[in-house]
Amino acid sequence: MDPAHRRDGLGLLLLAGALVSAGGAWWQAGGAGEQVDELLTAILGKGALLLPVLLAYGAWRVLRHPDGTGASGRLVIGWGALALGALGVVHVVKGDIPGDEKGGLVGFLLGSPLEQGLTAWLAVPVLVLLAVFGLLVVTATPIHQVPDGLRALRDKALRRTPPPAPAADEPLPPLEPLRRRGPRRRVGALSPQDAPEDASPVVVEPVALAPDPEPAPEPKPFQPLPKTVEQLQLAPPEGGYQLPPPDLLAAGTPPKKRSAVNDEVIAALTGVLEDFQVDATVTGFSRGPTVTRYEVELGPAVKVERIIQLSRNIAYAVKSPDVRILSPIPGKSAVGIEIPNTDRENVSLGDILRSSVATNDHHPMLVALGKDIEGGFVCANIAKTPHILIAGATGAGKSVCINSLLVSILTRATPDEVRMVLIDPKRVEMTAYEGIPHLI
């Protein structure tokens, strides 16, 4: 059924309940009305007289505001707390009156235990606090806003209007200059005969006022920049420049295809899969200088989520918190588990610049970056990325990266091809490049 129809049905049901309860509690219409009156009076006592009003209000609320589900829940809680507190107070206060005049069964169940356990003098304040809480919830008024609300009601009843607040952009009236009062002189303390002969009148010099500020000069009219700008002519280096030989940079250690660490990790992965009864097998791996990707093939009807759920167990087994699961490996029907190597290898800048990736590209702005996870050399043309931000924690290798970029350009480009402007505020990182012919 459509939610709108369900809300309409609820509203009409509440309206019907309001009519039936009004016919019983107010008019005792017919035999059924008398039975309804007896039932409501037994449950709610004198509160049965207000039940039709509450049901009618609820029906109007549901039919008039179908989207106010949050407010409806708040009103139900508020009216419920208010009714419980009021019926409990009625039961405790009218203890000697017959049951029909009390708070009914609800008031008895709530007020009688409090009256017996705390006495009527303490039970009534507790029930009043419950009713006050319900009233605050119904009116959506926090306690700290009650004084402001009472003041607003008082002003409205007395037809008072609060003074308008000054506008934010309205200038404040100028302050009058303060005048410093001189020391008081006692009148009549000295007679004219006792006054000193050399007494001279005090001369007060006028205070020089600051001149009015000069008006701000008008901005000059905008002049467009010329389309052609004269370029600075760079002097060619003296004596010609020869690129350094390719073997100038030292070679690194040959990469490892497999090590004992890889065998230990494979055994640990296999043990985790067997312990958790996952039908999967480690079929191979791709070793990089710092990270190795292990390939895991899943058996039939084994979900990839089973491997992902074991990420923490795998990290515990291989003794490494940095475990990354790639599902699947691009181009392969296998799940990749990337785990850092405990026996890391150093990547030499000379090996990257002597690789086929660098020698096949003759662009002067090609720089060496390192190796990927599969051990392949990685280079980049920074002419396509003129703005680069190198960031990282202390010891992450920011200075090494900058030096690698500069040395890559110096070993591949002549001063006629590339010129540099190096700014080193600390005068520590780039002092080794002082005097190179590539500087402007």
Per DSSP, the residues of 92-122 read HHTTTS-GGGTTHHHHHHHHHHHHHHH-HHH
CA distance 412 to 390: 22
In the DSSP assignment, the letter for residue 382 is G
CB-based contacts of 386, cutoff 8 Å, min separation 6: none
CA-closest candidate to residue 90, choices 128, 144, 57: 128
Contacts 24+ apart (CB under 8 A), 351-355: 351/251, 351/252, 351/377, 352/377, 352/378, 352/379, 353/246, 353/249, 353/408, 353/411, 353/412, 354/246, 354/247, 354/251
Supply the pLDDT for residue 408: 93
Supply the pLDDT for residue 315: 93
Supply the pLDDT for residue 210: 58
Supply the pLDDT for residue 337: 93
In the DSSP assignment, the letter for residue 235 is P
At residue 406, the 3 state secondary structure works out as helix
Supply the pLDDT for residue 188: 46
CA-closest candidate to residue 370, choices 389, 345, 392: 345
Enter the tokens of residue 55.
């049901």
- If you average pLDDT over residues 206-233, what whole number do you get? 61
Q: 260-340 adopts what CATH topology?
A: Threonyl-tRNA Synthetase; Chain A, domain 2 (3.30.980)
pLDDT band at 33 (very low <50, low <70, confident <90, very high): confident
pLDDT beyond 80 at 388: yes
- Gap between the terminal Cα atoms of the chain: 79
Number of helices followed by number of strands (H, E) in the chain: 13, 6
pLDDT above 70: percentage of residues in the chain = 78
Per mean pLDDT, which of 90-99, 149-158, 320-329 is the most reliable? 320-329
All structural domains of the chain with their residue ranges: 3-156, 260-340, 349-433
